[in-house]
Amino acid sequence: MNPKSVAIIGSGITGLTAAFNLKRKGVPVTVYEAGGRVGGVIQSIRKDGFLAEFGPNTILETSPKIAQLIRDAGLESRKLATDPKAEARYVVRYGRPIEMPGNPLGFFMTPLFTAKAKFAVLREPFIKPRRDGVEESIGQFVVRRFNQEFLDHAIDALVAGIYAGDPNKLSLPHAFPKLKALEDHYGSMIKGQIFGASDRKKSGEVAKDRAAKFSFDEGLQVLPDTLATLLGDSLNLNTPVTKLTQTDNGWRVTTANAEKEFGAVVYCGTAYRLAELEIESGRTAHQCRPTGTFSEISYPPVGAVVLGFRREDVAHSCEGFGMLIPKIEGFKILGTIFSSSLFPNRAPAGHVTLTSYIGGARYPELGMLPPDKLVGLTLEDLRKLLGIRGEPVFAHTKSWPKAIPQYNVGYGKYRELLTEIEARSPNLFFAGHYRDGVSLGDSIVSGVNIAERVEKNFQTTSGRG
């Protein structure tokens, strides 16, 4: 066994990124993937001239580490920025999509909010910050600092777009840590946006609402497929790991057909699969078996519905990123991305591609409906919202039984347990969307960071030797 070899469990974007970065640094890696494909929820399909995305549609370039990965993977020439004309975002109110304002003056002119809600924004800098240490939901936070209207007609829609979640359950410090930090450091959201700009510039990070968005010529699947090709024989598909056993020199990885020893193990799968993984770590084995704990993390089902229409059958311009839909508006879909407006070659000439999502924590019973039901519900809403006539010329669905981990109030206990297991189990690491953020960009950064941690740990161990 090479004492600096690493087993990586999971070939979602976090695992692939970690493996790729370690291999570039000369560290031997072996990736174990339980399924038959790489990329996790990233899935792009080209059919009949349409390109359908069934997971995320874009990557937000929130960190320099994301751009570095694209360069290192040799994908700069295939990278596509979103169309500058597709910046408009819509939120549904009064049963129709209304463009979100792009500047302060536009906010005070928009029909999206009443005068009372606009006054609440002016008042927000004077609301005292909460300092009692009580963990709030994002819903409680918004009502306290703004008002109920802001929650019902804006934040609820935003939360559906990010987490497919419930704002009254999602934890402020865990699901939206930067909002919590703004109040902690500046006492106000508005003050934080104004005075925190210089700090963000120094860090090199970009706020998600301002970050550049991009994809690739054949969709996001290009990234995991390219990383998988570069990893070559290091990648093992259809090879679920059933047990991890600590040894004197590292870890023994057990699969259905083999056992192999490594210097370190990085778990980059899902929380619910982690709950099924047996981990033995010397005398602390009983503390390293997370079954019954990580299985508590909610992953509501989400259905993705990609529909293609003739341009003349859609009354709305669909020029923009897409629309988000608050629950209070009474529609079944959570929102729709105007896919063919974002990037070229997402639809044949004279057609549009619309990607909608249904289910989540809002309507979990809808996420796993059969394809014809998903298409029917989606089409019913889109007819009302976008003025669609006729039938789609392209329809494809994908249901994710467990889509996005919900960072609900109390989520800190899971993160603390992960840290505790790492502390008690040297050379065992955890990374991914259940720990480090649910966006695609978060997962990439998580993969880069965990690779750096593993390499640093090996260097420290060698130095002690």
Q: What is the pLDDT of residues 263-314, one digit of tens each?
A: 999 999 999 999 999 998 864 444 455 546 999 999 999 999 999 999 999 9
Bridge-partner residues for 215, per DSSP? 80
Does residue 385 have a pLDDT over 70? Answer: yes
* Cα dihedral across residues 412, 415, 421, 422: positive or negative: negative
Query: Cα–chain-centroid distance for residue 309?
Result: 28
Mean pLDDT (whole number) for 397-425: 96
Mean pLDDT (whole number) for 209-237: 95
Query: Are 300 and 160 a contacting pair, CB within 8 Å?
Result: no
Domain 113-203 grouped into CATH 1.10.3110.10: yes
Percent of the chain with pLDDT over 70: 94
Fold of domain 6-40+221-297+408-464: FAD/NAD(P)-binding domain (3.50.50)
Query: Are 353 and 339 a contacting pair, CB within 8 Å?
Result: yes
Alpha helices in 126-188 (DSSP H): 138-145, 148-150, 156-163, 172-175, 177-186
pTM reported for the whole predicted model: 0.93
Return the SS3 of 210: coil
Query: Are 271 and 299 a contacting pair, CB within 8 Å?
Result: yes
Percent of the chain with pLDDT over 90: 87
Rounded to 5°, the CA angle 108-114-120 comes to 75
Distances (CA, A) of 7 to 30, 107, 125, 266, 426: 5, 50, 49, 6, 14
Other CB atoms within a 10 A radius of the CB of residue 376 amount to 13
Q: Can you tell me the distance from the alpha carbon of 357 to that of 302, in angstroms, rounded to the nearest whole number?
A: 7
The domain 44-85+300-400 is placed in CATH, from the list 3.30.1120.130, 3.40.50.720, 3.90.660.20, 3.30.200.20, at: 3.90.660.20
Does residue 11 have a pLDDT over 80? Answer: yes
* pLDDT number for residue 285: 44
Q: How confident is the model at residue 198 (pLDDT cuts 50, 70, 90)?
A: low
Query: Are 75 and 222 a contacting pair, CB within 8 Å?
Result: yes
Q: Can you tell me the distance from the alpha carbon of 12 to that of 37, in angstroms, rounded to the nearest whole number?
A: 9
Task: Specify the DSSP class assigned to residue 164.
Answer: S
Q: Can you tell me the distance from the alpha carbon of 101 to that of 113, in angstroms, rounded to the nearest whole number?
A: 11
Mean residue pLDDT of the chain comes to 93
Q: Can you tell me the distance from the alpha carbon of 324 to that of 92, in angstroms, rounded to the nearest whole number?
A: 6
**Domain chopping of the chain, boundaries:** 6-40+221-297+408-464, 44-85+300-400, 113-203
Does residue 121 have a pLDDT over 60? Answer: yes
Structure tokens at 283: 């005398």
* pLDDT number for residue 104: 85
Gyration radius of the chain's alpha carbons: 23
Parallel/antiparallel/unpaired status of strands 428-430 and 264-267: parallel
* pLDDT number for residue 345: 95
Mean pLDDT (whole number) for 90-113: 94
* pLDDT number for residue 284: 47
Do 44-85+300-400 and 113-203 have matching folds? no
Structure tokens at 420: 């505790």
Does residue 192 have a pLDDT over 70? Answer: yes
Other CB atoms within a 10 A radius of the CB of residue 330 amount to 10
Q: Which value, to the nearest 10 degrees, does the dihedral of the CA atoms of residues 95, 100, 104, 105 take?
A: -70
* pLDDT number for residue 297: 97
Q: Which value, to the nearest 10 degrees, does the dihedral of the CA atoms of residues 399, 401, 406, 412 take?
A: -150
Bridge-partner residues for 305, per DSSP? 356, 397
* pLDDT number for residue 321: 95
Q: Can you tell me the distance from the alpha carbon of 351 to that of 414, in angstroms, rounded to the nearest whole number?
A: 46
Does residue 220 have a pLDDT over 50? Answer: yes
Return the SS3 of 231: helix
Q: Can you tell me the distance from the alpha carbon of 370 to that of 294, in angstroms, rounded to the nearest whole number?
A: 29
